[in-house]
Amino acid sequence: MTHDVLLVGTRGFGAVHLRNLERLSDRARLIAVADPAGGPAEGFASDVPAFPSLDAALDSGIRPDITVIATPTGTHFPLAMRALEAGSDVYLEKPPVATMDQFSQLLAAQERTGRAVQIGFQSFGSHALEKIAALGAPTSIATWASWTRDAAYWSRSAWAGRRALDGVPIVDGVVTNPLAHAIATSLRIAGARRREDVQRIDLELYRANDIEADDTSSVRITLHDGRRITAALTLASPEQKVPLIEVRTASGDVVFAYTEDELTYADGRRERTGRTDLFEELLDHREHGVPLSSPLVETGAFMTVLEAVRTAPSPFAIPASELTVRTDGPSPLTTIEGIDDWIERTARSGALFSELDAPFARAAIAGRRTASVSR
């Protein structure tokens, strides 16, 4: 069985989808691409019809079985709605949409059309999740991540680092986009998949860079049963490190490196697993009814966090005295003094930055920049 696929967005992560579609060309046939910049100039898909937009492709008579959407977050909602109404299943990159209202509308459209929607939280396909589940229910979860993003990253497009653009919600901060997998995967491990699974969210949003959104933040999520997930994340580290999730259970603790599909147990033993490709799983779902690992409805808990970030006060600008600007690379890199230590310490203690009196957070305390969201 061959499935006709329309790819919306061929740059950025869209290029990853192009390579995957080439790998799966015996099962998935790319019938068109939609991108204002056009399709690939050469190689795979260079001879595929290219349209400037999804509307243009559908108006031409293109009728895909699956529409893959790899575009900026602010465009996800209208594109996914249009694809569903055209009778197509959808593979939608994370985060699903930019507001909770959009999430509710998209979920209603999916239910009305009866189509499948798989969200691109690739870590949900990791076989390590089964190993973690075998340890028993987590009592608490902590996740921390230190990534490096220089000035070129924040200037690469009009929407980069924006909370909104021309009145359209974007929410392009560390919690909701670059390191969204840390939050979403932690929620998945805890069994929190839907909106009602989240009881309370405490946030502290900061920015080291001259952007609208947060590039360094701490989050504490209290679930309906009282268990907590704590996250400390930054894009202002001097060194890129593998994101980690520490899962504590009654039978033992384990640390999950979700980008590597690697588990480290308390006794030092390491185990690397494989992962299921989520687009390939969508093909299996269409052919054999295989359950989806990342269906739209099960990203509701993550969307609760995204909505809390979206509606929180603007991120607090970290004082220049706590920052170092490195100019030894291709683009200036702003880093926070001692951030890597504060990231791990904060997450593992179940705290927020200000509760541990992190130097860069002290000025924020008086500014009352902590947002608490209860449900």
- Please give the mean pLDDT across all residues of the chain: 95
Q: Can you give the pLDDT at residue 41? A: 80
Q: What is the pLDDT of residues 203-227, one digit of tens each?
A: 999 999 999 999 999 999 999 999 9
Single-letter amino acid, residue 62: I
Q: What is the pLDDT of residues 53-85, one digit of tens each?
A: 999 999 999 999 999 999 999 999 999 999 999
Question: What is the arithmetic mean of pLDDT over 169-189?
Answer: 98
Q: Does position 4 have pLDDT exceeding 70, yes or no?
A: yes
The CATH architecture of the domain made up of 3-122 is 3-Layer(aba) Sandwich (3.40)
Q: What is the pLDDT of residues 95-152, one digit of tens each?
A: 999 999 999 999 999 999 999 999 999 999 999 999 999 999 999 999 999 999 999 9
Question: What is the arithmetic mean of pLDDT over 333-339?
Answer: 97
Q: Where are the domains of the chain?
A: 3-122, 127-275+296-374
Pick the CATH number of 127-275+296-374 from 3.40.50.880, 3.30.360.10, 2.60.120.620, 3.40.140.10: 3.30.360.10
Q: Does position 368 have pLDDT exceeding 50, yes or no?
A: no
- Confirm whether 3-122 and 127-275+296-374 share one CATH topology: no
Question: What is the arithmetic mean of pLDDT over 88-93?
Answer: 98
Question: What is the arithmetic mean of pLDDT over 169-179?
Answer: 97
Q: Does position 36 have pLDDT exceeding 70, yes or no?
A: yes
Q: Are 95 and 70 in contact (CB under 8 A)?
A: no
Q: Does position 364 have pLDDT exceeding 90, yes or no?
A: no
